[in-house]
Chains A and B, each alone.
With several copies, the nearest count.
Chain A
Amino acid sequence: MKMLINVPETVVADALRGLAASHPELIVDVENRVIVRRDAPVEGKVALVSGGGSGHEPLHGGFVGRGMLDAACPGEVFTSPVPDQMVRAAAAVDSGKGVLFVVKNYTGDVLNFDMAAELAEDEGIQVAKVLVSDDVAVDDSLYTAGRRGTGATLFVEKIAGAAAEEGAPLERVESIARRVNDLSSSFGVALSACSTPAKGGPTFDLPAGELELGVGIHGEPGRERRAMMTSREIADYAVDVVVADLRPDSPVLLLVNGAGATPQLELYGFAAEVHRALGERQVAVARTLVGNYVTSLDMAGASITLCQVDEDLLRLWDAPVRTVGLRWGD
């Protein structure tokens, strides 16, 4: 498996050097692996810190900036970051109003952020946490680690980030973040496995004529494998699953997310089918975002995320955001 890298060991550090060189509006601490918005801490503002394994870019580092995250902590590829990073990030961005940790629900992320929260609180930083758990492909039962956090992370970070930017106190930022998560559902498919630099090849085998339904963003195997389906069939399957879970009764935000190696041309064609499928099920779409936002290295495939919104959430979604990966408003 050819990769545009030097050696697997330096992949994350190399990417951080590139981020630093390319985006002077960010403070990138390459050694300690923390990405911070340049104007942090922002006086009087609750700070948002997130992080997770690398390989999902632009998540999370690409979402650092006004209206979204104050800091991000990238771990090794597909490996949650360590508490030291999170504590350092929290200390760098806390203005005294407290910090919200946005944590994707994976055992590693949860354990490390939990430890970090304890340590940060020891340093006098007020910390709240929100777990993102939107992936309906996983049974949410006593017999699993619970639903995985995937595309809804973007919705949580954007909307809670906007609330924080407006001056909302920690409790409200936290409750909005939780609400966005509760109102979101996702489902993803893989047409190919992803390859991690350390492994140097595909992390799972996907036969030539098959696709993986319900794949995770680290290439975790999904619900089932099937013979390859058309864009239309995949959209119907994914929309059915997500809508059955969410049962939205007001308009939704729609994320049509590329896994990393699916061409934008295909992704927009898929978006057309998702819009059709939602329309046929009487789900109104308030806003659509199409692109590679929560990726899985070089995986081919896509996921959809719906978030049911009311006027307040929609206003926060539309609020200005100025990050490397997401940018609108003034």
Chain B
Amino acid sequence: MSSSEPAVDDVLDTPFFLRWLIAAAGSVDREAARLTDLDSAIGDADHGTNMQRGFAAVAEALEKEPPGSPGAALVLAGRQLISKVGGASGPLYGTLLRRAGKALGDAEQVTPRQLADALRAGVDAVAQLGGATPGDKTMLDALLPAVEALGAGAGSFPAAAEAAEKGALATVPMQARKGRASYLGERSVGHQDPGATSSALIIAALAEAAR
């Protein structure tokens, strides 16, 4: 078993969570133009800058007030996203991380299974807040398969990343039913959802952090 495929009983400590969030910030920053271009096709051309601004704030906050536990790291990151992003993605991603962080409590180390469960709780909160269901062409279409893969695969990050990536690609033929892209009706078909794309980046960063 390679180090990027943690076993159920591997433990994930606070530095792992910091590595994850920093890796997510890095890939969001690198891919910002692509996210904005995707949003330009079916939205308002700001998803890249939104994510960039939000995760830059996350990275800065983690540096400034280093969190003492995995849960605290996610709650802090979530709060930053809510305070700095705006738009639809700010509250949604903020809620995802905050809720997941709260689910982890203040344990100093967590298992991949606990992380999978916490992310599941976070994704459920996103679904409740935004009212979207799978197939609506939103970030959920990448997040849900990812947390399912994570749960089923006993915490396999590459499997989760692959599921998220596939989920994001699968939004291409969908017609949007939530968010700004829904205004386009059928004209939203044929474009990949920007939020699902950024979700895939964030999930992929898990595997990066584990390496």
Contact = CB atoms under 8 A, between A and B. Distances in A.
A41 interface: no
Interface stretch (A60-68, A157-165, A196-204, A258-266): A196-204
B45 A83 contact: no
A76 B46 contact: yes
B180 A106 contact: yes
B40, B87, B129, B184 — which one has the most chain A CB atoms within 10 A of its CB?
A: B87
Interface stretch (B59-67, B78-86, B144-152, B155-163): B78-86
Given A145-B178, A203-B40, A221-B184, A198 B45 contact: yes
Contact of B180 (A81, A143, A145, A199): A145
B88 interface: yes
Given A81-B86, A107-B130, A198-B49, A220 B44 contact: yes
A13 to B, nearest CB: 13
Contact of B46 (A79, A137, A221): A79
Chain A contact residues: over half helix, strand or loop, or mixed? loop
B180 A83 contact: no
Interface residues of B, number: 35
A312 interface: no
A108 interface: yes
Contact of A80 (B84, B86, B175, B184): B86
B86 A199 contact: no
Contacts, number: 115
A79 B86 contact: yes
B50 interface: yes
Contact of B83 (A53, A75, A84, A145): A84
Contact of B182 (A77, A83, A114, A143): A143
B43 interface: yes
Nearest to A198: B49
Contacts of B43: 218, 220
Contacts of B187: 221
Contact of A112 (B42, B48, B91): B91
A135 B87 CA distance: 19
Interface string B157-177: 000000000000000000101
A111 B177 contact: no
Contacts of A144: 177, 182-183, 185
Interface in A97-118: 106-108, 111-112, 114-115
Interface in B83-134: 83-92, 129-130
Interface residues of A, number: 37
B153 interface: no
Interface string A139-172: 1001111001000000000000000000000000
Nearest to A8: B49
Interface in A61-93: 75-84
B83 A218 contact: no
A115 B46 CA distance: 21
Nearest to A214: B183
B183 A220 contact: yes
A199 B45 contact: yes
A144 B182 CA distance: 5
Contacts of A115: 82, 91
Interface string A202-232: 0110000000000010111100000000000
Given A106-B180, A221-B187, A112 B44 contact: no
25 contacts: A76-B86, A78-B44, A78-B45, A79-B50, A82-B83, A82-B90, A83-B82, A83-B83, A107-B178, A107-B180, A108-B86, A111-B88, A111-B90, A111-B92, A112-B87, A114-B91, A142-B177, A143-B177, A144-B177, A196-B44, A198-B46, A216-B180, A219-B44, A221-B184, A221-B187
Closest 3 pairs between A and B when the two form their complex, measured CB to CB? A218-B44, A108-B87, A111-B91
